[in-house]
Amino acid sequence: MPEAPHVRVSVIYAEPDRAFSVDLAMVEGCTVADAIERSGIREAVPGIEIREDRLGIFARKAGLTTRLRDGDRVEIYRPLKIDPKEARRRRARET
């Protein structure tokens, strides 16, 4: 029986002082959720909050059920410390 086709994907998460990155070979048709679970990030980064609104593939929004293609990079984003609009307002006031 032939082996199921595979895709190569990466799962990435970065903090100011460290980064998590793992390359995986997954069965074709896998999802973002499958890759996150298989990556081991929950064990490597205790307390990580994985939310659907903080996921992307190459900086484009993705959901947990998004199917992955060969070469995709799943990115898990941290929450923003400050709203970008507020940050711009503060910079504008400083100049």
Q: In one letter, which amino acid is 48? A: I
For position 23, which CATH number holds?
3.10.20.30
Quote the number of domains for the chain: 1
- 52 part of a folded domain: yes
Residue, of 87 and 74, whose pLDDT is higher: 74
Range of the domain at 58: 6-94
Residue 67 above 80 pLDDT? yes
The pLDDT tens digits for 3-19 are 778 999 999 999 889 99
Q: Which token pair is 47?
A: 């307390």
Q: Write the DSSP symbol of residue 69.
A: -
Contact partners, residue 74, CB within 8 Å, separation at least 6: 9, 10, 11, 12, 32, 35, 36, 55, 56, 57, 62, 68
* Band (81; pLDDT cuts 50, 70, 90): confident
- 1 part of a folded domain: no
- 26 part of a folded domain: yes
Q: Is 43 within 8 Å of 67 (Cβ atoms)?
A: no
**pTM for the model:** 0.81
- 38 part of a folded domain: yes
